[in-house]
């Protein structure tokens, strides 16, 4: 019996991962592709990737849990990442996080509120414009609550 992963069948995911069939070194790339396709990596996809790459499920799980960017649940409509690296801390990321917390967003737990998920991350590569944030992959320099919510409103409306 073919498994269903989100709105995709096992067969369609295997077809999507076709170029990496039998390639044990392609576990990381396969996880990335599944997350790009589905928005997250469901537990059942780990078995499909293991089968496709001809490795154990444990090996796929090890790679999946090693990298913090992989998610096991569907993301919110807007995923906000706020940098907490040294340069952004010096530019006020702590007060930005405090403001977000005052508005009911717990950045440390990645909770979803109003279709917005807040996460902290280390270095978005926008150090000169700290504090830096990102909404669904789009960078925000000199981030403020107002700038963040202006960016999220386009996706959550």
Same domain, 84 and 145: yes
Which backbone phi and psi does 112 adopt, to 5 degrees? -105, 130
- Tens of pLDDT, residue by residue over 110-138, are 778 999 999 999 999 999 999 999 999 99
Residue 107 is classified by DSSP as: T
Residue pair 57/47 in contact by the 8 Å Cβ criterion: yes
Q: Which domain holds residue 144?
A: 78-156
Distance from C-alpha of 119 to C-alpha of 122, rounded to nearest angstrom: 10
Q: Pick the residue with more confidence: 2 or 141?
A: 141
Mean pLDDT on 135-157: 94
Q: DSSP character for 26?
A: G
Neighbouring residues of 61: CB distance < 8 A, sequence distance ≥ 6:
46
150 lies in the same domain as 96: yes
> What average pLDDT does range 90-108 have in this prediction?
93
Q: Are residues 82 and 142 in the same domain?
A: yes
Q: Count the neighbouring beta carbons within 10 Å of the beta carbon of residue 14.
A: 16
Q: Where are the alpha helices (DSSP H) in 25-56?
A: 27-38, 43-53
Residues 52 and 105 placed together within one structural domain of the fold: no
pLDDT at 5: 57
Residue at 42 is within a domain: yes
């Amino acid at each position: 019996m073919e498994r269903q992963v989100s709105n995709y069948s096992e067969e369609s995911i295997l077809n999507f991962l076709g170029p990496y069939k039998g390639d044990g070194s392609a576990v990381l790339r396969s996880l990335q592709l599944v997350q790009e396709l589905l928005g997250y990596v469901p537990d059942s996809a780990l078995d499909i990737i293991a089968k496709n790459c001809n490795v154990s499920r444990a090996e796929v799980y090890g790679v999946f849990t090693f990298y913090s960017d992989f998610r096991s649940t569907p993301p919110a409509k807007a995923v906000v990442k706020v940098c907490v690296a040294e340069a952004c801390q010096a530019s006020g990321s702590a007060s930005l996080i405090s403001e977000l917390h005052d508005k009911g967003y717990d950045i440390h737990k990645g909770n979803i509120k109003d279709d917005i998920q807040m996460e902290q991350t280390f270095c978005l590569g926008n150090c000169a414009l700290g504090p830096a944030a990102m909404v669904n992959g789009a960078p925000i320099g000199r981030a403020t609550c107002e700038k963040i919510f202006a960016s999220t409103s386009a996706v959550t409306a």
